[in-house]
Amino acid sequence: MTVTLKGLRAFNTVLRYGSFTRAAGLLHITQPALTVQIRQLEAALGLRLLDRTPQGAEPTAAGRELARSLEPLLRELDHTVSSLQDLAARRRGAVRLAALPSVASGLLPGAMARLRATHPELRVRLHEAVTGQIYEMVRAEQVDLGIATDLAPGGELSVDPLFRDQILALLPPDHALAGLAAIPLARLAKERLLLLEPDSSIRRLVDEAFARTGRMVTPAQEAVHTGTLVGMARAGLGIALVPSTAAELRMAPELAARPLGPPGIRRMVGLVRRSGRSLPPAAEALAEALRAEAALLAPSGQPSGPPPAAPRRTGRPRPVPPQEG
């Protein structure tokens, strides 16, 4: 004989309604079943909790004592349960997210709008960082989820692909290279280059690509933020190499954006998570929103899209070229 939650709830109900029969109705069981449950609870405690009378049931002193402790206990348990169910239903919760700056400005806002539409109560706590830091934050459980370049970290981490990104060169429309649909690395090497700092994964990809052509890169200028590079490019300080999904590209509609290569410089951006660990429901919801948003960018899987439109010598706004060339 052991104390069960069902038994305690049954007792509480009988106590409140003063009758086995009525309580049984409310509990959606028959009166004999309830009688048995109460008997088992009494046996477990070794005490008579209710005195049965022809008019119903009323608590003994022990029953009243139990009820006094029990009611707050049940209330608190129910609160705990429903609070967890809120978590499960995404009515509550915060996602701790670490994301690349390019994603934070590009893909993320749309995903967050999507998330707000479906789960208005969820909050996102965003940390902008570079890929290595993102990996580390996910590993250390400082965040629930990361969005970073897929470097196949293995071990504790796994990366689910989200979208492909390519590096674009941002240059004045009247620049000699702007006439090309894609700019070979060899031609770029002689130009004044505006690059991100060496700890970003974009910069690493650029360095590696140049290394493969046997060249060292010596940037004319480095910056931490893509926006800074774009601003410098607009000021005519050189050619900026920036990820195609960065929203900062829209800051410079008057500049020409050209893919590199062939071969181009591409990377896979994905969701970084602890492998074998489940995501909190809120993080799961954000991940879904991110995947949905990413699907809009590259609707048909991993397409080999067309090269950018030929540059027109106008200052009119131009759509950002598709991400996948």
Q: Given the rule CB under 8 A, which residues bind a second copy?
A: 3-6, 8, 44-48, 51, 53, 60-62, 65-66, 69-70, 73, 76-77, 80-81, 84-85, 87-89, 144, 276-278, 280-281
- Stretches 19-27, 94-102, 164-172, 257-265: which one binds DNA (CB under 7 A)? 19-27
Contact flag: residue 21 with DNA (CB under 7 A): yes
Q: How far is the CB of 255 from a second copy (least distance, A)?
A: 44
What is the distance between the alpha carbons of residues 64 and 45, in angstroms, rounded to a whole number? 14
Q: How far is the CB of 139 from DNA (least distance, A)?
A: 14
Among DNA, a second copy, none, partner that 80 touches (CB below 5 to 8 angstroms by kind): a second copy
Nearest one of 174, 214, 208 to 315, comparing CA atoms: 174
Q: How far is the CB of 64 from DNA (least distance, A)?
A: 17
Residue in 15, 38, 111, 124 binding DNA, rule: CB under 7 A: 38
The two counts, helices (H) then strands (E), for the chain are: 11, 11
Nearer to a second copy, 73 or 309 (CB): 73
Q: Is 269 left (phi over 0), alpha (psi -120 to 50) or beta?
A: beta
In angstroms, the Cα distances linking 150 to 142, 164, 202 are 19, 10, 11
Nearer to DNA, 6 or 187 (CB): 6
CB 224 within 8 A of CB 212: no
Contact flag: residue 142 with DNA (CB under 7 A): no
What is the distance between the alpha carbons of residues 10 and 7, in angstroms, rounded to a whole number? 5
Token output for 120: 């208005």
Residue bearing tokens 């989200």: 162
Q: How far is the CB of 282 from a second copy (least distance, A)?
A: 9
